[in-house]
Structure 1
Amino acid sequence: MRHLKMPTHTMRIFVLFLAFVATLSFSTFAQSSLTGTIRFTIDEVCPGAEVKLTGPQQFSVLSNSDGTYSFNDLSAAGRYMLSIGFLGYETFYENFEISDKQIQESSRIVIDHIFEEDTKMDDIIVQGWGKSGKPLEEEIVSVDVVSTQLIESNAIINASDAVERVPGVVIIDGQISVRGGGGYAYGTGSRVTLVIDDVPILTPERNEILWDFVPLETTDQIEVVKGSSSVQYGSSALNGIVHARTRWPERNSKAQTRIRTFSTFYDKAYQEDYRSAQWWQTPNTGNSFQSFPHAVGFSYYNGKHYAKRNLDVVFGAFATTDQTHIAEEFNHRIRGSVRMRWTPEKFDRFNMQLSVLSMYRHRSNIFIWNGDSSEILKPLANYRVRYQYAMIDPVLTYYLGEKRNQKLQLISRFYLDKALNGIGNRNNESYQIYNDFRYFNEFGNIFSFVGGITNRQMVVRANALRGFFSDGTNTFRYGELSGYGNLDVKLNRLVINSGFRFESYIIDEPTAQLINDTSINPEADSLYPQGRFLFSKPVFSIGANYSLSKRSNLRISFGQSFRVPSIAERFVDETLEDALRIRPNPTIRPEAGFSMEFGYKYHTTFKKTLNIYADAAIFYQSFTDMIEFQFGVDPTDPIPLGFQANNVSKARILGYELSLSSSGKIGKVPVNALIGYTYTFGGNAAVNEEYNRLGPLIRDAFGAYHISDLEQAEFQNGNILQQENSILNGILNYRWRHLLKADVNTGYGKWTAGFVYRYYSYLDRVDDVFEIDVYPYTAAFGRYRNNRQYKGEHILDLKTGIKFNEKTTLSFVTQNVFNRFIVIRPGKANPPRTYTLQATFEF
């Protein structure tokens, strides 16, 4: 057999080619790696920490269930920075360099980290216009945070009392107004959406906020987002969002238990001028619970982290009996909750949460006092009802990709409320099913996107709705379908946020026929040409935050919003003890609008133990077809006094807000404060068309900063020409131009002390019926306003406490220290001086 022989020069070329290919392959596939383990303590690993790598290559992952992380494809030499962060702990940074030699040798770099306890901070993370947390100073819009410290130091047992501490916020009869976005609108659906752990919740029938349903005993913090937020949570977020977040247990093997007990008692009824209104006597053993005003109750929290099972469990309970200072007005309730979070050890890409919350409430509602002097603490009419509320929230989360920078999430809620012994028209029940399917994606360190689809189905059965159907049915069915997206772009110091939402409301056929019945609704053809589609609308938002330095940020934002009227606003027809009537109005139109804001925030820390935030903001809000339950007299009705929902105003609101907040300690001295001043000018463009232009609105906003007593008197008592030419003529009803609030708490050693101060300026405009001396129950408010002589109201509370040891704290709070007769809500007096004793036990 003949052998072939390769020429020498050919052999040399072939060998060189093989060497080149080997070198190319080695350089192509050679790479270094970075790995490590993250721990809370030496004995406890930290799953779910955010690990980011920046430099020639950029990556982002979450630590695994065993606390480990890894980046295995580092093929570019250069200088890198590693950051490791976890909510509530100071972010860890480390710079390092990878050389070409390390890459060629496939070196393995190890960087471990332990979150030491002394690095833990009370860093404030919020969820404003996005659906993922970010530091407060990086938010696009104004966000205020109500901490558990503020709640407990004031012995607060209702979420509305906690949120009312926020600058620029007023809550009357459960109706919340943010920066003048709403007035006094009894029975109107809320213009602010309540969110509990990422899921919006308003009652299906009335679209109102159930403040009693918020489990303060398990709440970690309450965030108040100011401004139009319909892009984030749809209809009813016209004026903002209130987001209550549950507290998870600390990551150790010990259970944490907290028990709060409280007792509140009332002093004599105001000062001597109104002492005749007092209906109660000094309590004794022979009195029933309804014979004197008081509140007693307790709350319970228990949380435990089961490290071996990757399971967190939280239990909460609350009970109180509450007889207010108004005769026959009470609010007794029992609430219980459980929340669980579980990550399977062998399938740590998956996370499941389950929350269950239930409440029983026996309540008496009143609308207006019975008259002046001795009758101001007695109701003209009231009604009693027992309700059962319940909701179940399952949440499923699945992380995608090796880097876990993507996730799918299904958030659901099953809700019901039912009147247990409703009488007449107040016998009703409601059901709601809510689903939100979300997709998150972080594209390196620059882009962050969340988008999804929501669907909500609601059924309302109420006797108060029965009169609209000839067949006697009392059931309404309607639903909401929407798609949304939100994009964050981070370019060095600049963060840009943009979002969109398209939402449609669909009603059942009988309701559609009713609304489109031109004999009832003459404008049906023009208002609702879509048949069963009651309302469809796209909304957008955009904003930016620029970091001027490590301590200061500028922000600017624009957001659109809308609100669909509730079933109750359209169709409820009921009377209260033959004294008041709520009249239906199927013709009302949806509200719509937008808000704009320009703000500056300064943030600093003092020795890692004290957070300080200073904020200044200028805001503008514009709303059309605003709905109010107008209070008036219809002489043709057998029950002349009553309410009806109407589109009454075009609101153009301009103002500014200054605030200062702090949390933490200076050495051993706690310094916790929330202070703010808000100036709001609310112009009604339906009365003064000039307010459709920004120039006249700015002119009058400056001109109305101080209105003299003479101008007030001429407007209220002058002739028609004087009233029409007055700057007060175009101001919206039930808006306070000046609001000042301060909640300060400090102390030394075992003792704490603080105060709460609130100032409401004179209420410039109210419904005309309160200015006419026709009925004693309406004229009483007019006489109260005249007695004020155009002066505002000052309210002062004092608080103190002593911490006997690490487990026991005793607090004492006095509200309305000077026992003044104050009326913030028309026709219903504020409480006289009250004393609350609270004991807190921790185990």
Structure 2
Amino acid sequence: MIFPKKINIAILLIGILPSMLQAQGNIPVQGKITGIVLDAETGERLPFVNVWIEGSQTGTASEEDGAFKLSGLDPGTYTLTASFVGYRQEVLEHVHVVTQKSTTVAFELQPTFLEANEATVTATRRPQSAKLAPASIGIVTSQQMEAKNIRTFDQAFDDVPGVTVTRSSGANVQAFSIRGASEVAGGGIGNRVLLLVDGRPALSPESGGALWNLVPVSSVERIEVVKGAYSSLYGSSAMGGVVNVITRKPPAAAQTKIGVNYGFYGAAPKSSEYARFNDFYAAQISHSRSLGRFSYLLDGSWKHNDGHREKSGFDLFNFYAKTAYRLNGNRNIQLSLNGNRIKNDTPATWLSRRQAYSVAEHRKDDYQDRREYNADLYYYALPNANVKYSTRFYYYQNYSKYTFDGDPGNDSSSNINFGKQSVSESSVRTQRVGNISQLDLYAGDRHFLIAGTDVKLDKVVGMPDTILYGRHRAFNFGAYLQDEIKFGEKLTATVGARLDHYLIIGEFDVTNFSPKLAWVYQLKKDLSLRMLFAQAFRNPSMAERFIKFEQGGGLRFQPNPTLKPERLTCSFEFGSKMKIGQRATLDVALFYNRYKNLISFRRLSQPLEPLLYQVVNLNKAVMQGFEISYRQTWDGHLNTSIGYTYLDARDISDNRLNDNLAYKVKHTLNVSASAKFAALSVHLNARYRSRIKEVFIYPGSEPDDAFLLNTKVSYQLADKHRIYLAIDNITDAQYEELERYRMQGRSFTVGAAVGL
């Protein structure tokens, strides 16, 4: 039978319609979740991590490269959990799955324990295993700080090989030096070490000095000390190294810590004719907690110290807050707020070597009042398994007031070293606004790229300008790029460079380039070799250029606004890290640093004339030496360490007076031991520093060598409660770190720490 044409088409459509409907039913309506699992401390990808969807039987395990995939998921919102032995379980909520699309997430698992030297985030601006870092790394953990009697933050570094801290009193750090890098000039001037708090710069805009009082000591998780030239990543301030203070992460359960202590100084030698009793006490409290995707940390402390001698007392109030919120599985935001106020005596030199605990009458009414505030907003995201980007905005503000005539009845006419005192007080106001943005990229199996920008704007007002800096504004823009290249399983090379442009608005500008080449060779599983070659620079601070009077030492200066940037033309290190058996590690490093235009201080006045100095550029200098660090664990009850640094620092300028560089310590030795017997813990540490051959402020008063011995005994009352007794400078050694500033003798401290 022959049907009309229209009827044929209708029959055909009716025949194929069921097949079309069946095919449409086979179109995928599910979505999938892909992601990666990382170690939050080292940044390494974690294989074989269990990942599952809460409330279902759906799950998987990460591959050897840390990647995982969950397919065939109906559209909706899911909660993912990742779990692995030795790590804290992590939960990601509100993970949205869309039809025919892939949702990307990232887990960052926090280790349940962290051994010293296991990880670092500072050496390459990303998390990595410390044994793979292309530089010498010193790590101080919270457990190590707890074992020692840390009253001020600078004391945490007394056992770190290669680090020398120079103080004029307990609250005044004159210099923090890594392998001799920094100068000793007061107020942080001449600092060549960058201080970071959770990756945020913490340096004074006017002097470049580290802001030690901004560190919340009781909330420190660990401190990383990276030694060597690091301008290729961090710019001007990192010419001599980087210190990064990492605060602890809030636990899942609420945690409150309360600490109190009281102590006193032993009697001064009778020959000093100083008989005053001086004590000190402190209280601190911290609280932290995680509530789902939100976590917070609050920390407050108060410290009072009479000082061990005249004009060395202080009161310090500190507050720190950190909050974090996980927007979803791969986006995070963190806000930190920090403030402190310190009211302290202005340090003053001794009356004489015999009367080393007393100062001149006209210095007894000199005081300092400093207020510092800091805010930091940090955002980072991992849009996929190969990319991470982050940005950080920060703000810093400081107001410092210096009083020279606090007691009108006290004649202060000699306070400023030249003629009649012209002012009774001075002040410094500073502000800094900055941004650091960075992109991390895994470019295949061999390359890990980092690119970033670093911008900051400074404002400094030092008044009156007859003795201080006056009004200045500065702007700095830096851009850096680094590639970490893997050549097989054993060899990793790092190539990087940074370009900086610095401008003191309307007065001065300069551009600097800082390259770096490094490699790490894993000779064996427990033995690695490393090499670092770099060039670095440091722009003179505003204080160095424009200073007319240094408040702490009462020294007059002739300004030198034409100072050139310091240049580290060759920084070289060759080192090795090895594990000996299961319980010992040895690190050895040789270093060589050659400087050009090194900034130092020259005395212009002649003998019997009022003291007058100027900040100048030396022509050339060399600092070289070697460093050894050894750590041993004995049966889990005893830990020992020893570190030694030899420093050969020389002025090699053509017009030099001699070969010596001022304030350089040739030999430093640190030894420590910690033992635990049930609830009782005992810590003993000793340090030695050799005699300083040359000083520039008071020639003829060079500090002698010093050997110090300290101990601390702790008893654990319960799981979170302990009491302790500490004795510092057991032998009551009489010594100076800075000429004519006698340091503390023997002291005793008792304290208690309570956990809730």
Q: Which category describes the TM-score, using the shorter chain as reference length?
A: 0.7 to 0.9
Q: How far apart, in 1, do the equivalents of 2:648 and 2:635 lie?
A: 38
Flag the 1:48–1:548 CA change in 2: closer, same or farther, 3 A. Answer: closer
For the 8 Å contact 2:476–2:502, the answer to whether it is kept is yes
Partner amino acid, structure 2, of 1:562: F
Alignment of 1:643-722 (within 5 A): 643-648=613-618, 650-661=620-631, 666-667=635-636, 669=637, 671-686=638-653
CA offsets, 1:614-639, max 9 Å, x none? 101111111112222345645696xx
Q: Any conservation in 2 of the 1:37–1:67 contact (CA below 8 Å)?
A: no
Conserved? CA contact 2:295–2:324, under 8 Å: yes
Tell me the CA shift for residue 762 of structure 1.
2.4
Correspondence for 1:508 = 505
**TM-score relative to the length of structure 1:** 0.72
Query: What is the one-letter code of the residue matched to 1:660?
Result: Y
Aligned pairs for 1:485-504 within 5 A: 485-491=481-487, 492-504=489-501
Q: Does 1:153 align with 2:158?
A: no
Against the structure 1 CA distance between its residues 418 and 747, is the aligned structure 2 distance closer, same or farther, given a 3 Å change threshold?
A: same
Contact 2:356 2:742 in 1 (8 A): no
**1:317 aligned onto 2:300:** yes
Provide the residue aligned with 1:279 in structure 2. 274
Give how far 1:189 is off. Answer: 3.1
Distance of aligned partners of 1:330 and 1:739 in 2 relative to their CA distance in 1, 3 Å threshold: same
SS at the partner of 1:831?
Answer: coil
Instruction: Please say if residues 381 and 579 of structure 1, whose CA atoms lie closer than 8 Å, have aligned partners that are also in contact.
Output: no
Q: Distance in 1 between matches of 2:119 and 2:513?
A: 29
CA distance in 1, matches of 2:528, 2:145: 28
* 1:330 equivalent in structure 2: 313
Q: 1:560 aligns with which of 535, 547, 564?
A: 535
**Shift of the alpha carbon at 1:449?**
1.3
C-alpha contact (below 8 Å) 2:44/2:128 kept by paired residues: no
Greater Cα offset, 622-631 or 232-241 = 622-631
Of 129-138 and 414-423, more deviation after overlay is shown by 414-423
**How is 1:509-548 mapped onto 2 (pairs within 5 angstroms)?**
509=506, 512=507, 532=508, 534-548=509-523
The residue number in structure 1 matching 2:594 is 622
Residue equivalent to 2:291: 306
- What's the offset of the Cα at 1:759? 1.1
- Per the TM alignment, residue 118 of structure 1 is displaced from its structure 2 partner at its CA by 8.6
- Give the CA deviation at 1:465: 3.2
Q: Is this contact kept in 2: 1:797–1:815, CA < 8 A?
A: yes
Query: What is the distance in 2 between the residues matched to 1:114 and 1:536?
Result: 38
**1:319 counterpart letter in structure 2:** W
1:386 — aligned with what? Answer: 369
Distance 1:50-1:495 versus aligned 2 partners, 3 A rule: closer
Alignment of 1:601 with 2:574, yes or no, is no
* Consecutive unaligned residues in structure 2, runs of 5 or more: 4-27, 69-81, 89-106, 168-172, 405-422
**d(CA) in 1 for partners of 2:716 and 2:730?**
24
In 1, the alpha carbon distance for the partners of 2:135 and 2:313 equals 38
- Once residues 117 and 768 of structure 1 are traced to their aligned partners in structure 2, the CA distance between those partners, rounded to angstroms, is 49
Secondary structure of the structure 2 residue equivalent to 1:340? strand
1:334 aligned counterpart, secondary structure: strand
Question: Could you tell me which of 747, 750, 755 is aligned with 1:837?
Answer: 750
One-letter code of the match for 2:526? Answer: R
Aligned pairs (5 A) from 1:295-444: 295-307=280-292, 310-344=293-327, 347-378=328-359, 381=363, 383-401=366-384, 403=385, 405-419=386-400, 424=423, 426-444=426-444
Matches for 1:415-494 after TM superposition, within 5 Å:
415-419=396-400, 424=423, 426-465=426-465, 474-491=470-487, 492-494=489-491
SS at match of 1:824: strand
| Residue 747 to residue 207, structure 1, CA distance change in 2 (3 Å) | same
* Paired AA for residue 683 in structure 2: G
Kindly provide the CA deviation profile for residues 109-167 of structure 1, in whole angstroms up to 9, marking residues without a partner as x.
Answer: xxxx9999998866721124311111111110001001112222222132211123211
Would the alpha carbon gap of residues 734 and 65 (structure 1) be closer, same or farther in structure 2, given more than 3 Å must change?
A: farther
1:764 to 676, 693, 715: 693
- The percent of aligned pairs where both chains have the same amino acid is 23
What is the aligned partner in structure 2 of residue 293 from structure 1? 278
- The code of the aligned residue for 2:590 comes to I
Which amino acid in the other structure matches residue 620 of structure 1? Y
Task: List per-residue Cα deviations over 1:631-680 (Å, max 9, x = no partner).
Answer: 5645696xx124432223522122111102357x844x2x4444201111
Provide, for residues 574-620 of structure 1, a one-character-per-residue CA deviation record: whole Å limited to 9, x for no partner: 375996424322232211103111001013684xxx6x431011111
Please tell me whether the aligned partners of residues 181 and 621 of structure 1 are also in contact (alpha carbons under 8 angstroms): no
For 2:155, what is the secondary structure of its paired residue?
Answer: helix
Is residue 656–residue 678 contact of structure 1 (8 Å, CA) maintained in 2?
A: yes
Q: CA deviation at 1:429?
A: 0.6
Spell out, residue by residue over 1:151-199, the C-alpha distance to the aligned partner (whole angstroms, 9 max, x if none): 2222213221112321111111321111122353334231101011112
- 2:119, 2:545 → 1: CA distance? 39
**Paired residue secondary structure (1:373):** coil
Give the letter for the 1:392 counterpart: A
Secondary structure in structure 2 of the residue aligned to 1:228:
coil
Give the alignment partner of residue 797 of structure 1, picking from 710, 733, 755. 710
Partner of 1:747: 676
Letter aligned with residue 646 of structure 2 = Y
Contact kept, 8 Å, 2:591 with 2:624, in 1: the verdict is yes
Aligned 8 A contact 1:38 1:63 in 2:
no
One-letter amino acid of the counterpart of residue 645, structure 2: T
Q: Give the RMSD, CA atoms, in angstroms.
A: 3.9
Is the 1:224–1:242 Cα contact (8 Å) retained in structure 2? yes
Judging by fraction of residues, say which structure has more helix: 1
1:408 partner amino acid: Y
**Residue type of the partner of 1:256?**
Q
Q: Distance in 2 between matches of 1:812 and 1:278?
A: 29
Per the alignment, residue 828 of structure 1 pairs with 741
Q: Which residue number in structure 2 is paired with residue 57 of structure 1?
A: none
Deviations 1:527-585 (A, max 9, x none): xxxxx5x2211111110111112111110011211111111111122375996424322
Distance 1:604 1:449, change over 3 A: farther
CA positional deviation for 1:793? 2.2
CA contact (8 A) 1:49 1:63 kept: no
CA shift for structure 1 position 432: 0.3
Per the TM alignment, residue 824 of structure 1 is displaced from its structure 2 partner at its CA by: 2.4
Aligned residue-pair number: 669
Q: Does 1:735 align with 2:734?
A: no
Partner residue of 1:142? 136
Q: Which residue matches 1:255?
A: 254
Q: Secondary structure at 2:236's aligned position in 1?
A: coil
Q: 1:479-522: per-residue Cα shift (whole Å, max 9, x none)?
A: 1001011221223111111211000111222xx1xxxxxxxxxx
| Counterpart for residue 186 of structure 1 | 186
Deviation at 1:820, TM superposition (A): 2.0
C-alpha distance in structure 2 between counterparts of 1:617 and 1:631, whole Å: 36
TM-score by length of 2: 0.80
Relative to structure 1, the CA distance from residue 762 to residue 375 in structure 2 (aligned partners, 3 Å threshold; closer, same or farther) is closer
**Of residues 164, 168, 171 in structure 1, which corresponds to 2:162?**
168
Equivalent AA in structure 2 for residue 797 of structure 1:
N
1:195–1:243 contact (8 Å) kept in structure 2: yes
With over 3 angstroms needed to count, the CA separation of the structure-2 counterparts of 1:151 and 1:575, relative to structure 1, is closer
Could you tell me which amino acid in structure 2 is paired with residue 143 of structure 1?
I
Distance change (3 Å), C-alpha of 1:262 and 1:734: same
SS at match of 2:598: strand
User: How many Å separate the matches in 2 of 1:258 and 1:582?
Assistant: 47
Preserved CA contact (<8 Å) 1:395 1:410: yes
Match of 2:234 in 1: 233
Matching residue within 121, 124, 127 for 1:130: 124
Matches within 5 A, 1:50-89: 51=45, 81=64, 83=66
Task: Evaluate the alpha carbon distance shift between residue 536 and residue 115 of structure 1 in structure 2; reply closer, same or farther with a 3 A threshold.
Answer: closer
Kindly provide the CA deviation profile for residues 236-288 of structure 1, in whole angstroms up to 9, marking residues without a partner as x.
211101110110023x3x11222221222100114xxxx2325343xxxxxxx
Which amino acid counterpart does residue 371 of structure 1 have in structure 2?
S
Classify the secondary structure of the residue corresponding to 1:818.
coil
Contact 1:751 1:801 in 2 (8 A): yes
Higher strand share: 2
